Amino acid sequence: MSSTLLTNCHLVSPDVELENAAVLIENGKIAAVIEAGGDLPAADETFDAAGRMVVPGFIDIHTHGANGADASNGSEEQVRIMAEAKVREGVTSFCPTTLTLPQEQLVGIMEGIAGYQANQDWAKAPKVHIEGPYINPNCTGAQNPAFVRDPDAAELLELHKIAPVGVVSVAIEMPNGVEFVAAMKEAGIATSAAHTAATFEDFSKAKEAGLNHLTHFCNQMTPLHHREIGMVGAGLVDDEIKIELISDKIHLCPDMLRLVWKLKPVDQLMIITDSMSASWLPDGEYDLGGLAVHVKDNSARLGNGALAGSTVRFYECFKNTLEVTGLPASEVVKATSWNQAQSLGFEGVGKIESGFQADIAVLGGETFQPEAVWVDGVRKV
C-alpha cells in the first residue's frame, strides 16, 4: 500500500492541538506525527492541508439514514448510500440505527447491514445500534407505536448473531428492563436508556445492572423536576454515564448544550446526528419507519409536531458545539470519536497518533465541510 504525507496541518486530536504539523500514513495506519519544524519523511503522495483543521474521523453511533437512504429499508445498497454520505460529513465509522419494527423486518435489516459489513467501501459500519422496539409506549416520539414491545433478550441476541450489535436503546422501566440490561452486559452489548419515563430510582437500578448510555439526551426521557430529577437529572448528576447529544441546536437549544458541557465530564459526552433519510436532501415530505415526516428549515417533524430525527451533518454538529461552548477544539473533539470508540470497544481509532488507524478528516474553511477524508488510509473524499 502506498504512503501519504499530510503537510501544513492544523492538527486537532484529544488533548493535542498542533499548528503546521504533518501526518504520515503507511499501510492504513498513522506511522508518524511530525511537529512544526521537524524533518518530513518521503512519501508516495503528498496532501497539503494548507493550514486547515485535521481531525480524527468522526464516529456517528446513532444515525438512521442519509441522502435518501434508510438503514431500516433492509438492503445492503441502502447502507452503502448512507456510508457514502457519512464519509462526506467526515464520518469514518458509524452504527446504522434501526427503528421500532416487527422482528422479522429487523432480521432483514440486519442481513442488509451484514452485507455491507462484508464489503465496506465507504465509511465503516462495525456495529449496529438497535433503537426500539423496547420502549415505553407513552414515549414513542417518532417511533411507530404499533410495534412497541417489552424488552426481550432472546429476540435481541438473534439479531446480534446476524450483525454485531454495539448498543441497544431500551426503556429501562418496562417489564424485564433491568434484567434485559444485565443480559446485554453479559453479551458485551452496551445499553442506552431511551424513550423512557423512568425515575431516578429506576436509573440507579439499571446502572447497577450495567446501563452505559442515555440516548439523544433530554429527548423522550423524564425531564428534570425539583422533586424527581428523572433521567435528565440522572444524566447531569452521574459522572459515569455517557450521554448522546444531537448538536443541531434544535433537539437541544444552545443554552442546554452549554449547560451540559459545563456540568458533565467531557469524557462522557458523545455527539451524534440521529439523522434520517432527508439528511443531504432538500425540504419536503419523507418517511421514517412508516410515519410521514415533514422537513422544513432543517427540522424534521411528524404531523403532531414531534421531532423525527434530524437532517444535521456531523461536521455541523462539531462546528455548533465549538461555537456554543467556546471550548478548545482539542476538548470538543473527544466527543466526536474518541469517547464513542471507548464506549463501544472500537480499538485503534479516535486519535491522530502513531499506531492508530488512518481515519482522518480535513475540515474546510468556515463551514467545516470536509475537503478530504481517509478511511483506513484510503482517501474517500
Give the burial string for 159-187 (b: 16+ CB within 10 Å, else e): bbebbbbbbbbbbbbbeebbebbbbbeee
What nine digits make up the cell of 3? 504512503
- Cβ distance 217 to 260 under 8 Å? yes
What nine digits make up the cell of 367? 463551514
Give the burial string for 232-257 (b: 16+ CB within 10 Å, else e): bbbbbebeebbbbbbbbbbbbeeebb
Q: Could you confirm whether 297 is annotated as catalytic?
A: no
Active-site pick, 238, 248, 274, 359 = 274
- Cβ distance 154 to 176 under 8 Å? no
Cite the annotated binding site for Zn(2+) by residue number: 131, 195, 216
What nine digits make up the cell of 147? 410495534
Going from the N-terminus, what domains does the chain have, and what CATH number goes with each? 4-55+350-379 (2.30.40.10), 58-344 (3.20.20.140)
Alpha-carbon span 293 to 301, nearest angstrom? 5
> Facing residues of 32 across strands?
24
- Cβ distance 172 to 209 under 8 Å? no
Q: What DSSP assignment string belongs to 155-193? A: HHHHHHHHS-EEEEEE-TTSTTHHHHHHHHHHHT-EEEE
**Summary count for the chain: helices (H), strands (E):** 10, 22
Segments of the chain scoring below 50 in pLDDT: none
Alpha-carbon span 89 to 63, nearest angstrom? 12
Cite the annotated binding site by residue number: 131, 195, 216
Q: How many CB atoms lie within 10 A of CB 42?
A: 8
Which pLDDT score is estimated for 317? 98
Q: What DSSP assignment string belongs to 6-28? A: EEEEEEEETTEEEEEEEEEEETT
Q: How far does CA 222 lie from the centroid of its chain?
A: 22
Q: How many CB atoms lie within 10 A of CB 43?
A: 18
Which pLDDT score is estimated for 289? 85
Which pLDDT score is estimated for 23? 98
Which pLDDT score is estimated for 283? 95
Whether the full predicted model's pTM is greater than 0.85, yes or no, is yes
Determine the 3-state secondary structure of 53 from DSSP.
Answer: strand
pLDDT tens profile 34-88: 999 999 999 999 999 999 999 999 999 999 999 999 999 989 999 999 999 999 9
Alpha-carbon span 151 to 132, nearest angstrom? 9
pLDDT tens profile 319-344: 999 999 999 999 999 999 999 999 99
